[in-house]
């Protein structure tokens, strides 16, 4: 059992929705991502034994533990990977600083960590729960050990965590979790620019199908290697859409934003990442009066989004549900990671 529990730190971070730029962002192109009010929370405590303990009931992780010296090694449950590697990366970077944060000098070198996560949304929605949990972990440990980190320092550690776990990724979901709001983002955090968005009337529809993001990204990468010139042109086209969308969003030109969503969806269809269910929901929303609609994220499942005139909102929601989608109550452009 864990002894001598001390103060508890609680951190929360938002999930995300991709507005524009899926897949192209992996290849250095820009994207636009927004945070959502569905959040992940993590409670962190120090303990006096050199053990890492994780409880994450939402992903069926109960009393998972291992010595700190074994972090990153052996068989790691899928639901624990992002948190465990986030802890490992934090400790490796700040190991020389951490001992001085403990009051009991006899145990300074052997301090352990206990974490518990709570999610307001299901990991199946594709809102970026894994990335949000990594961000929460790093922020919680920084608060716990009184180490001041900038938003970019949190991003860099969390991005290393993503690469350690899945070998590839752009980091846009991390940026949304850290900075909040709506962001213009370039792969690896080369650009993280908040956009002044006052109103974004999105409807979010869930397919009921959980997408395997890493697998889909790898499949698209394989297509790129087979047809590099063709896919490069597609990614260049998506990048142009993203830049136009940035301007339209800042001007609150919702009709143009919707038209650009439709164009972006066309490219995603060409990449082969949509699905019959996603397409049915997207076209139902458009027919019911949406300015535009597209998938959000890797594709293959998860969610679609529709930009809705207020007068058409109910009709669009009914249309999505009629073809088997589930409308989720989601607010966008929300606050980033914070101490709660």
Residues 230 and 147 placed together within one structural domain of the fold: no
pLDDT at 2 over 50: no
Domain identity same for 246 and 165: no
CA distance 156 to 329: 31
List, as own/partner pairs, every contact residues 191-200 make where C-beta atoms lie below 8 angstroms and the sequence separation is at least 24, other chains included. Answer: 191/30, 192/152, 192/155, 195/32, 195/246, 195/249, 195/250, 196/250, 197/34, 197/249, 197/250, 197/333, 198/252, 199/252, 200/34, 200/249, 200/307, 200/332, 200/333
- What pLDDT, on the 0 to 100 scale, is given for residue 188? 94
- Structure confidence at residue 4 (pLDDT): 47
Q: pLDDT (tens digit, 9 = 90+) per residue, 294-323?
A: 999 999 989 999 999 999 999 999 999 999
Same domain as 142, residue 249 = no
Question: 112-119 and 51-56 as β-strands: parallel, antiparallel, unpaired?
Answer: parallel
Q: Are 52 and 65 in contact (CB under 8 A)?
A: yes
Q: End-to-end alpha-carbon separation of the chain, Å? A: 27
Q: Which of 164, 173, 253, 302 is catalytic?
A: 173
The CATH number for 212's domain is 3.30.70.890
At 167 the pLDDT is: 86
Strand partners, 32: 20, 184
Whether the pLDDT of residue 5 is over 70: the answer is no
Domain extent at residue 138:
8-196+335-339
Q: Is the pLDDT of residue 83 over 80?
A: yes
Helix (H, G, I), strand (E, B) or coil at 278: helix
Catalytic annotation on 173?
Answer: yes
pLDDT tens digits, one per residue of 214-224: 789 889 989 99
3 within some domain: no
* CA 275 – CA 300 distance, rounded (Å): 5
Q: How many domains does the chain have?
A: 2
* DSSP three-state, residue 182: strand
Query: What's the pLDDT at 104?
Result: 46
């Amino acid at each position: 059992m864990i002894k001598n529990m001390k103060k508890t730190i609680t951190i929360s971070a938002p999930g995300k929705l991709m507005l524009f730029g899926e897949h192209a962002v992996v290849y250095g192109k820009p994207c636009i991502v927004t945070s959502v009010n569905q959040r992940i929370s993590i409670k962190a405590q120090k303990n006096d034994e050199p053990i890492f303990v994780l409880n994450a009931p939402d992903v069926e992780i109960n009393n998972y533990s291992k010595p700190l010296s074994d972090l990153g090694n052996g068989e790691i449950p899928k639901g624990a990977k992002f948190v465990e590697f986030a802890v490992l990366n934090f400790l490796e970077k700040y190991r020389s600083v951490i001992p001085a944060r403990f009051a009991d000098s006899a145990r300074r070198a052997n301090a352990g960590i206990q974490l518990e996560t709570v999610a307001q949304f299901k990991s199946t929605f594709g809102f970026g729960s894994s990335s949000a949990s990594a961000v929460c972990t790093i922020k919680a440990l920084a608060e716990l050990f009184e180490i001041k980190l900038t938003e970019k320092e949190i991003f860099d550690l969390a991005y290393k965590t993503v690469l350690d776990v899945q070998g590839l990724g752009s980091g846009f979901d991390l940026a949304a979790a850290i900075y909040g709001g709506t962001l213009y983002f370039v792969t690896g955090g080369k650009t993280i620019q908040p956009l002044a968005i006052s109103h974004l009337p999105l409807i979010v529809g869930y397919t009921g199908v959980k997408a395997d993001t890493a697998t889909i990204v790898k499949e698209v990468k394989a297509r790129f290697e087979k047809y590099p010139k063709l896919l490069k042109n597609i990614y260049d086209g998506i990048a142009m859409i993203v830049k136009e969308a940035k301007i339209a969003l800042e001007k609150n030109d919702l009709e143009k934003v919707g038209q650009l969503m439709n164009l972006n969806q066309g490219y995603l269809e060409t990449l082969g990442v949509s699905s019959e269910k996603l397409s049915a929901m997207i076209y139902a929303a458009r027919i019911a009066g949406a300015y535009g609609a597209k998938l959000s994220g890797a594709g293959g499942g998860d969610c679609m989004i529709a930009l809705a005139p207020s007068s058409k909102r109910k009709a669009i929601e009914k249309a999505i549900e009629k073809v088997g989608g589930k409308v989720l109550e989601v607010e966008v452009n929300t606050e980033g990671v914070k101490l709660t």
